[in-house]
């Protein structure tokens, strides 16, 4: 049975979760998963040592919830307001922790909404689901992502398999369309890409270890690491920390979801 314990981490209210020999830490700020340690004692998520915790701050690491806009692809706040807003912990149902956020006209976004984030895990796998409910009287469009920072021991040894020859949008070049390249993706420089319609699970090899990443409901995979040059301009990344993670996120980026009044949508990512 999953257990929950309120606690404080770096001054932020959090919920510690324990189940099946694994444990996770979720900040109420953004309902952001900060840590997932599997039953073998392996930390699967990266959290920056300079990550900022506080009102209006985006926490660098873990799994930020991106809603209702991805990056600057629209008129609203970059990556949306969900990751910088305090959520409610609604308890545990069927060994799954539930976090909720609802409101109207938040941060200039003019629609009524209700979000649910479900966090569950077993000895080896983490599964996280985002649900969006249009609680208003007018339709709205949104983008979303689970911006997972996956911990790696050495970026130079990382290979991401499963993208194959899929074409992608290159965010580092104004979303230019690029052809796919055979073989695994390696991180010899900064990478910022959106892959559409990749259904097969991805496998992240980190030396001798590997991590499987699957999605459901989300249309896209986003892959990001700033590289040495990009990391130099990120103030909440310590020197060399870019070598300790790769972001592989389930996202709804290239095409927004159109949600009618009263309608619901959900997307999930499974890691492990």
Active site residues: 147, 249
Dist CA 117 CA 4 (whole Å): 15
Give the torsion through C-alpha atoms of 38, 199, 100, 82, to 10 deg.
Answer: 100
**Residue 155, φ and ψ in degrees, nearest 5:** -55, -35
Contact assessment for residue 257 and residue 134, using Cβ atoms and an 8 Å cutoff: no
Contact assessment for residue 59 and residue 30, using Cβ atoms and an 8 Å cutoff: yes
Q: How many CB atoms lie within 10 A of CB 66?
A: 26
Look at the chain and count its residues: 272
Give the pairing type, strands 22-27 and 32-37.
antiparallel
């Amino acid at each position: 049975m999953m257990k929950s314990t309120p606690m404080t981490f770096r001054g932020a209210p959090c919920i510690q979760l324990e189940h099946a020999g694994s444990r996770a830490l979720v900040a109420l700020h953004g309902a952001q998963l900060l840590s997932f340690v599997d039953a073998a004692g392996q930390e699967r998520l990266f959290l920056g040592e300079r990550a900022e915790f506080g009102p209006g701050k985006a926490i660098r690491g873990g799994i930020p919830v991106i809603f209702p806009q991805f990056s600057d692809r629209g008129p609203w706040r970059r990556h949306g307001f969900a990751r910088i807003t305090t959520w409610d912990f609604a308890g545990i149902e069927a060994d799954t922790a539930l976090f909720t956020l609802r409101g109207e006209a938040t941060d200039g976004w003019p629609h009524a909404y209700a979000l649910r984030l479900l966090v569950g895990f077993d000895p080896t796998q983490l599964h996280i689901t985002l649900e969006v409910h249009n609680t208003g009287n007018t339709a709205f469009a949104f983008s979303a992502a689970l911006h997972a920072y996956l911990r790696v021991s050495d970026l130079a040894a990382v290979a991401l398999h499963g993208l194959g020859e899929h074409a992608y949008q290159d965010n580092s070049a104004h979303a230019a369309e690029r052809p796919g390249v055979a073989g695994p993706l390696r991180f010899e420089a900064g990478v910022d890409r959106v892959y559409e319609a990749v259904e097969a699970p991805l496998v992240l090899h980190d030396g001798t270890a590997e991590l499987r990443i699957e999605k459901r409901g989300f249309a896209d995979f986003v892959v990001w690491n700033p590289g040495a040059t990009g990391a130099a301009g990120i103030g909440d990344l310590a020197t060399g920390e870019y070598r300790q993670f790769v972001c592989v996120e389930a996202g709804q980026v290239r095409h927004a979801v159109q949600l009618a009044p009263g309608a619901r949508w959900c997307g999930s990512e499974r890691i492990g």
